[in-house]
Amino acid sequence: MQKINLLVNLPAAFFAEPRLAGVFARLEKSAVLRKTSHNTAAEIETDLAWADAVLMWSWPALTHELLDKAPRLKFAAQMGVSQAAARIALERKFPVSDAHRGWSPAVAEMALGLILSTLRKISLYHAAMRAGTEGWVRDFPIGVDPDERQLTGRPVGIVGFGAVGRRLAELLAPFQCPLRVHDPFLPNDLARQFRADKVPILELLEFSDVVVLCAACNPGTRHLLGPAEIAAFRKGAVFVNVARAALVDTEALLARLRLGDMYAAIDVFDKEPLAADAPLRALPNAFLTPHRAGGILASVERILGQLTDDLEAHLAGRPLQHALTEAMLPALDA
């Protein structure tokens, strides 16, 4: 079989990572690869016109203008795709394999880790042990911190019940947590399948000890958690954000955290890297991680493997396992 021209447009570090060499070797069995790291439409235009297929992240977006200038291009395999680019592809009936769900297992695991670490104060104990300032309970159980709590049986709310939210629900099952979910696109029967109550967001916030945000970021979800929602958090609540910072009114969250009556574990920020003098860094009830939820090598290997599977399926005339569809639009970031 004649090899196709495949443009692989990814950050340069992907090509330098030796543990991904096997993926590119597999692609070379069915395609002539051209590896690039273009960031703009002007940069990618010429190489895209050469390609029969492209494997890429979500940028530069495949606009009408770019696709018009790439008549040979018949397939795109993407690690992520924006709502706008997805609508263009669907409108043109241009086949796209979208493997963004491949990030979900790692993100859900990070969310569970942040829940447990915050409830059990794991990171605080670790830091104190490193510094030699830890306190040892001498008069058990009198000396036990009442704010150190177990997850088992504790009511949890999940905002956004796509691939991340559903995987998190599976991970939470052994903890026997009463589960509430908020997602306007979630079918009622699917909520029942996960033994979750589908509720309005304010009800979820008022009745959950732990709230995890994993909704998509688009115009409809910007500041989904605004002042009214943040005021509705229970006292002592743990809020975990593994979605996007734009879904939260950061100033309102800061004001609530300064009251000292709730906790937040945050992996995403309005501006990244987070400034050294950012107010969140100074709050003892804010637990911060540097946008690490999904970005582990296992995620990249899984996603590139899924995209390669779909490229091979496309070339063989078989159905795609990760085909972009209209139903996926609400789960995509803007």
Asked if 179 contacts 204 with a C-beta cutoff of 8 angstroms, the reply is no
- What pLDDT shows up at residue 272? 98
- What pLDDT shows up at residue 329? 94
- What pLDDT shows up at residue 334? 87
Statement to judge: residues 98 and 110 lie in one domain: no
Statement to judge: residues 216 and 249 lie in one domain: yes
Statement to judge: residues 117 and 259 lie in one domain: yes
Question: Hey, is 17 helix, strand or coil?
Answer: coil
Statement to judge: residues 227 and 119 lie in one domain: yes
Tokens read off for 192 = 């029942």
Statement to judge: residues 122 and 271 lie in one domain: yes
Q: Which residues pair with 46 in a beta bridge?
A: none
Statement to judge: residues 65 and 123 lie in one domain: no
- What pLDDT shows up at residue 261? 98
244 part of the active site? yes
Statement to judge: residues 181 and 325 lie in one domain: no
Can you spell out the DSSP letters for 260-309? TS-EEEES--SSSSPPTT-GGGG-TTEEE--S-SS-SHHHHHHHHHHHHH
Question: What's the rounded Cα separation, in Å, for the pair 200 and 219?
Answer: 19
Statement to judge: residues 171 and 310 lie in one domain: no
- What pLDDT shows up at residue 238? 98
Identify the active-site residue in 149, 291, 301, 312: 291
Of 76, 94, 61, 80, nearest to 4 (Cα)?
76
Tokens read off for 74 = 């018949």
Statement to judge: residues 32 and 158 lie in one domain: no
- What pLDDT shows up at residue 179? 98
- Number of structural domains found in the chain: 2
Gyration radius of the chain over CA positions = 22
SS (H, E, C) 178-230: CEEEECCCCCHHHHHHCCEEECCHHHHHHHCCEEEECCCCCCCCCCCECHHHH
272 part of the active site? yes
Asked if 112 contacts 93 with a C-beta cutoff of 8 angstroms, the reply is no
Identify the active-site residue in 100, 166, 244, 314: 244
- What pLDDT shows up at residue 298? 97
Statement to judge: residues 201 and 159 lie in one domain: yes
The dihedrals phi and psi of 212, each to the nearest 5 degrees, come to -115, 125
Which stretches of the chain score pLDDT less than 70? none
Q: What angle do CA 292, 293, 294 make, to 5 degrees?
A: 100
Of 233, 240, 235, 246, nearest to 171 (Cα)?
240
Statement to judge: residues 315 and 270 lie in one domain: no
Statement to judge: residues 79 and 29 lie in one domain: yes
Tell me the CA distances in angstroms from 3 to 27, 37, 48, one per residue in order: 10, 22, 16
Residue 111: CATH number of its domain: 3.40.50.720
Identify the active-site residue in 92, 272, 292, 318: 272
Range of the domain at 84: 4-102+296-331
